[in-house]
Structure formats: structure tokens, C-alpha cells
Amino acid sequence: MSRPSRRPVSPTGAPERGRGLEDEGWCWGKHPVMALIRESPARVMKVLLLSRSGGWDSILGLCNAHRIPVIWADGPALDRHCDGGAHQGIVAQVAPGPLYALEELPSLLPEEGLPALVVLLDHLQDPHNMGAVIRTAEAAGAKAVVFPKRRGVLPGGTVAKASAGAALRLPLVAVTNLSRAIQELQRWGFWSVGLEAAAPEGLWSPSPLPRRLALVVGSEGEGLARLVAATCDELRSIPMRGEAGSLNASVAAALGMFEWVRQWGESPGLPLTSGGASR
């Protein structure tokens, strides 16, 4: 996988100067955005259109065909993403690397019977958290990270930086409905475990984690959505002392992932390397 530019993309296709890694990738202008959707629809995370303006039938048709979320916005909201450029009423957020569709996930998985870990994020809001989860997922040998296209953080430049580049290497799967994604993974032989603070069974329960695990991590503050929690095969909590009551989402995810590694990390098909903490 090649390393794409993480800088905002201008209507001419050239990266804007003076922008750093923390900025997200944006493309603006009718023709550039239409060309981007036609040529690389998997990289388009959402399209912002100017409210109360017409002439968007072609764009809306393309977005609908490729299941790209469309958000109606005012002029100032669009202006913020193109650094004063002539956006013509349309701006698209572009992922730093390719995104996968759910139906592509089976081709990324090891053969049936071998251990496999897939991490699902239930509407995380903080890009630093998302980046930290992706970084840990790569280190734990996860095959993919799955996240919803709407109402949560999307993998832009901040996520890529927080992941130490893992977001450009580990397959990221964007889905419309997280509960349906869990159901598909169940159909493919995965057992889904949601991390939930109120769950009576702990992560270190005598019952082992499954060989093929779909680990579901809730959002900051809200935890797992009701329907997502109900769709999971089981819920587990992380035993805690003190008065904090909960852990950062990326920390909870790391504990869940490496408990699975502890149990299945020496299995065939999941080679381990030595590593440690870094800045």
C-alpha cells in the first residue's frame, strides 16, 4: 500500500502548503469531487453540500451509488475546509489511505479455524483515541478495524498521526450499520464480545475468549449503543478499583486485544514479535 499525501487537496489536485500532519484531507470544487468519487470512491468518507442550492443531482446520485454520506452545510462550514479556495458549494473529506467495504473483509481473514481478531468501534468521537486503537490493533495482530461512516470520528490525518502510521497499513472497514456488521461477522464464524462497564462477567473470566473474536468497543462517555450491545454474543467488563468508574476507550480496547493475544498469540497463523512502549 502506497503512502498517500495527508495534506488537504486543492481543486488542482496539489497539496496545500503550510498545512501539517494534523490536518484532515479535503477536496473541493464540483469537477474535482466528482472525479474523486468516480476514481476512488473508497477514499471519500463524506461529502458536504451547500444548503439551499440546487444542481446536485449528479453528485447525489454518485454518493448514493457508492453509499457515501452527504451532509448539508452552510457556506462558513465549507469555507473552513478549503482555506479560502472556491469550493463551488461542495467539499469532500478524503481518507489518508483506502477504506474497505464490509463485503471485502472475508478476503482479508485467515482460513477458517485459525485465530483472527477484528476490532469494531461504536462511534468513537476523539481522533486520538481512534488512532491509538488502530495502532494497538496492528500490534495485536488484528486483521481489520471496523467503524461506522456516520456520527463518529473518521480516519483523517490526526488519526493517521496518532496511529503512528498504522492507519495506512491496517485495513480500515467503513460500514453504514455497526450492528449489521457484527451480524455478518457472526455469520462468518466470529464470536462478538462487547466491552461494557456494567457487564457481570469480567474480561479475565475463566471462560476463554474465542479463537475468532470480534471485539466491540464503545464510544467515550456513552459506551456501547443499546442495539449494538444487544447484538453482541456476550458482554464483558474490565474489573477496576478506585473511583474513576471507566477507562479511556483506547485503553479498554488495548486490554481486550492483548487478553486475546495472551490466550491465542502463540497459535499458528499469529506470529509475535518483541516490542515495548514508545513515545
Query: What confidence tens digit (pLDDT) does each residue in 161-216 have?
Result: 788 878 878 999 989 899 999 999 999 999 999 999 888 898 988 889 999 999 99
What is the reported pLDDT for 82? Answer: 76
CA 151 – CA 122 distance, rounded (Å):
10
220 or 133, greater pLDDT: 133
Compute the half-sphere exposure of residue 154: CA atoms within 13 Å on the CB side of its CA: 27
Q: For the chain, what is the mean pLDDT? A: 82
For residues 237-248, one letter each, b for 16 or more C-beta atoms within 10 angstroms of the residue's C-beta and e for the rest, the string is bbeeeeeeeeee
What is the reported pLDDT for 226? Answer: 94
241 phi, psi to nearest 5 deg: -115, 175
Under the banding of pLDDT at 50, 70 and 90, the label for residue 51 is: confident
15 or 267, greater pLDDT: 267
CA 249 – CA 121 distance, rounded (Å):
9
Asked if 95 and 46 touch (Cβ cutoff 8 Å), the reply is: no
136 in helix, strand or coil? helix
Asked if 217 and 122 touch (Cβ cutoff 8 Å), the reply is: yes
CB-count burial class (<10 Å; 0-12, 13-18, 19+) for 273? exposed
Tell me the domain boundaries of the chain. 25-94, 102-264
The CATH class given to the 25-94 domain equals alpha beta
pLDDT tens digits, one per residue of 52-95 = 777 888 889 999 998 888 989 888 888 888 767 788 889 888 87
What is the reported pLDDT for 273? Answer: 53
pLDDT tens digits, one per residue of 226-256 = 999 999 999 999 887 877 667 889 999 999 9
Identity of the residue numbered 55: G
CA 179 – CA 168 distance, rounded (Å):
25
CA 110 – CA 117 distance, rounded (Å):
10
Under the banding of pLDDT at 50, 70 and 90, the label for residue 115 is: very high
Identity of the residue numbered 37: I
CATH architecture of 102-264: 3-Layer(aba) Sandwich (3.40)
